[in-house]
Amino acid sequence: MKVLVQKFGGTSVATQDRRELVVNKIESAVNNGFFPVVVVSAIGRSGDPYATDTLINLVNSVGVKSNPREMDMLMSCGEIISCVILSNTIKKRGYESIVLTGGQAGIVTDENFGDAEILRVEPQFIHACIEKNIIPVIAGFQGMSEKGEITTLGRGGSDVTGAIIGEAMNAEVVEIYTDVEGVMTADPRIVPDAMVMDTIYYNEVFQMAEYGSKVIHPRAVEVAMRSNIPLIIKNTMSDSAGTLITNCDRNRSYRYDKRDKLLTAVAHVIGRARVKILFDGSACEYENDNQLFKTIASEGISIDMINVNPDFKLFIIEDANIEKLEKALDKYGYNYELKTNCSKVTIIGNKMRGVPGVMAKAISALAKQNIEVLQTSDSHTTISCLIDSSNVNIAVNALHQEFELGKTNQSSS
């Protein structure tokens, strides 16, 4: 039996009408010769009665802070509610169905409550369901420790559940259903000309997720990449083909990518601050790279776009960490400069590897819009530019247009 994992996001199961559409997708899988294994997120978004954020706000209203263990117990409830309601909807169509928590589905984790790491998957019970022709509906975002503690996998963890179940079951494909048509060349709220991509490589969509696009959890892509199981991002509310995420394995049949473009997408993140630490003697013996970066790491602060020079160190941090960093640097007497209200704009594409002039073209596109580039960083498949946040919309559009990623260039693909 060919297994197909179908993961449905919170907006996909938020109303009865949408849940009927979800069952249509499940039924279609059955009719096409697959056995569907379903993974579900909590119903709706913040403000909806059973959304995870709503449950968190409810318990916080008591005024006593819950410990991480009990917060995981609470947060696991949203997905379980979704599963029971969807399972009943499946049964109403005449199919046998059973609800499984993450632990019952065999997802074994450590006890890092709130962001647990999956240790292994023991899918025997899922296999037993399939043998009995019972469709399992699995609560995403959660697992169980070896001591029987309920754990959650961090924000976006239902994507990870879908991918890890797909790997454990050797699924033909993992479908991630959401409220968009697929992976887009840029954020459509900023770039009206953005378009849905037919296909994209694992590492490209991983880079998009890392650099600001919120299409799929990066850990889910990592799992799919190591097991070489294709992911498809689809819209629950339509019958569009969506975006196929793959390594283009010749042993499988994939859609041909007609868009022969140098770049794949433009991503961006806001809310960053640039930090410049001067090694001018102010911090005396603490002015060495080992001490500085050890100090920053001890505060749990993640840094990015790092530029190490004998006279200064340059990097960016999230705005949320500014106060924490300032306290740490002041403690040792470092002389530093801080520029807030920054954003990072990144161009992504496998085909830029080894191609000269891509950085120059990107800088030129921004210069035409009078956008100052504060700092850059690059890899084989990405180039990032740090700019003032007031220019981020203009910058994303300028790069999207310069590299001909939009709908108006589709005819020339």
The pLDDT tens digits for 180-227 are 899 999 999 999 999 999 888 888 888 888 888 877 888 898 999 999
In this structure, of 29-33, 164-168, 214-218, the range with the lowest mean pLDDT score is: 214-218
CATH of 2-179+198-246, one of 3.40.1160.10, 3.90.870.10, 3.40.630.10, 1.10.3720.10: 3.40.1160.10
The predicted structure's pLDDT at residue 250: 44
Please give the pLDDT value at position 97: 98
The letter for the amino acid at 132 is: K
Read off the pLDDT of residues 235-256 as tens digits, 9 standing for 90 and up. Answer: 999 999 999 998 854 444 444 4
Q: Are 182 and 239 in contact (CB under 8 A)?
A: no
**Average pLDDT, stretch 303-318?**
95
Ranges of each domain in the chain: 2-179+198-246, 265-412
Predicted local distance difference test score (pLDDT) of residue 259: 54
In sequence order, what are the beta bridge partners of 144?
Answer: 108, 150
Whether the predicted pLDDT of 46 surpasses 80 = no
Percent of the residues in the chain that have a pLDDT greater than 90, as a whole number:
75
pLDDT at 412 over 50: no
- Classify domain 265-412 at the CATH class level: alpha beta
Q: Residue 261: what pLDDT? A: 77
Q: Quick one: 111 exposed, middle or buried, by C-beta within 10 A (0-12, 13-18, 19+)?
A: middle
- Position 395 scores a pLDDT of 98
